[in-house]
Chain A
């Protein structure tokens, strides 16, 4: 009673909204950090990978009318496959020719543009064939409620916890995880002792794609989704990833929750104290946080913590 009693009843929806948004953002940022750690590439295609997850799940809902949550596993598989396509189709041929990292980043940007075009074509196709709205998608009306709260809150937090636990056990207690970590720390040394580094990279691209797909598939349960939703969120994903620290995988979760807090709670507090006009500038929040982090702690929160530990 004590803790809950302190809560302003108006504040509860804000907190639910913070935790939901942060969980989704953390899943996206987890993928960004994972790819950065393994391939040393800032994956700009993460934008459209997330949106692809949303559209894969939505297409299933449109065609087969199941419970919207049933599209989530499919989104995991399909978008994971898109991650593999990007890796084997574009990045691996470039890596074999010793392309510099910046050019790999340009390639992910190009892949993002292609995917953006494909998503828009898919949206047009859904609208003209199934006569359903295919822009500004929102599925929250078919969501369940539990203890008076929207189901997406429990699902988002649950899925994020599940992913983190699975990732933790995978990385720490399996041979695969040790091989993965070895290729992150020093890929040529790992190669020398017989780790198939290319396969390890491919696995991380599938996993990161899958995470992006899941977070994307859950997005329409919580907010409006358009073909450019991922592009709009891209700055936040990178911000969460950098704020958490690119050198530590779990930094992404830390960064996601911090950024989500500043974004959702901070904006709502400012809007009620200064004026509603401040909500217009919400897209600037991650940028301010990003700039502050880079100036004060360029290694991110996780880097800050691990430096203390040593």
Chain B
């Protein structure tokens, strides 16, 4: 690889890392901290991406006072030709819109998380897991069948809110995404250490004990799903804005299974572990992606299927031989319960 290629590779990797870090943190809060097996992460991610995409062009023409009689979804390309030059000339308006779109993404993710968990939130964890998995890809059905959402199977484009950076668009976009991811990481890391976070862990470790202490466990579980889904929605919106377009094709493998793999690899329950797992996984995946086509000519099948074999086998391997992941969850220290010299250990 030349230096230019290395830089491009790194920037690409960081962009992917930022998005996946946000999703993995959302999963870790739900499964690792609270014990809610969310097998339907893809729904919140797709919710953030599709609803943001659907509203972004409409909001942009309204807020930027662009007068057009064209439909923002049907005549998407033409309308964006009116919107994008305005965004290109004014970075601050673009950043303002970005923040607005991220709020919309987070809210859409939250909505999806609440709707899909509502039927089974009070039931046992396996019922909840099945329900969340089943609901996972419902938005693809809506996105394909209902054109006003994101224009049907062909998808739609979003206003280019990073256009002001010109040829450095992807560098700036990556930097901003990384910034958002780091901010959310700090937020979740602090949240887990608050009394609220400790109640979540108590629910995970023993529901009955938490209940006997007067905690409304359904409300805490819903809050956990809500925050986790907001993160997934923000990640979906960011990825849609970064890549500039969405199609109704967000699937279970990419946005449910991979985050699970990353969190398992890093260590369930630990946010640092989640970040390490995400970084290690994304790097491995990008390297495989980069090199796999060099041996493609020798294989009698499409080389993309190798990914499935490797990912699945890696997960099975981790689950059997190192279920705690790279980094173990740390004991939360509180004024009331400081670990004594080496005696107190997490149960």
Contacts and interface: CB of A to CB of B under 8 A. Distances in A.
A144 interface: no
Interface residues of A, number: 49
A287 B138 contact: yes
Nearest to A294: B119
A295 B119 contact: yes
A111 B314 CA distance: 10
Interface stretch (A64-72, A90-98, A179-187, A188-196): A90-98
A101 interface: yes
Interface in A66-83: none
Contacts of B319: 90, 94, 99, 103, 106-107, 110
B125 A102 contact: yes
Given A117-B307, A124-B305, A97 B320 contact: yes
A298 to B, nearest CB: 6
A280 B145 contact: yes
Interface range, B side: 35 or more
B237 to A, nearest CB: 24
Interface in B100-130: 118-120, 123, 125-127, 129-130
B141 A116 contact: no
Interface in A132-183: none
Contacts of A298: 120, 123, 127
A231 interface: yes
Contact of B145 (A117, A231, A281): A281
Contact of B264 (A40, A106, A111, A239): A106
B303 to A, nearest CB: 10
Interface in A257-297: 277, 280-281, 283-284, 286-287, 290-291, 294-295
Contacts of B316: 90, 107, 110-111, 114
Interface core residue of B123, B130, B305 (most chain A CB under 10 Å): B130
B171 to A, nearest CB: 33
A102 B302 contact: no
A113 B39 contact: no
Contacts of B144: 280
A280 B252 CA distance: 20
B308 A93 contact: no
Contacts of A130: none
B220 interface: no
A223 interface: no
Interface string A222-247: 00000000010011001100100000
B204 to A, nearest CB: 11
Interface in B14-49: 31, 35, 37, 39
Interface of B: 31, 35, 37, 39, 118-120, 123, 125-127, 129-131, 133-135, 138, 141-142, 144-146, 252-253, 257, 260-261, 264, 300-302, 305-309, 311-313, 315-316, 319-320, 323
15 contacts: A90-B320, A99-B319, A106-B260, A106-B319, A110-B316, A111-B316, A113-B308, A113-B315, A117-B306, A231-B252, A234-B134, A291-B118, A291-B131, A298-B123, A298-B127
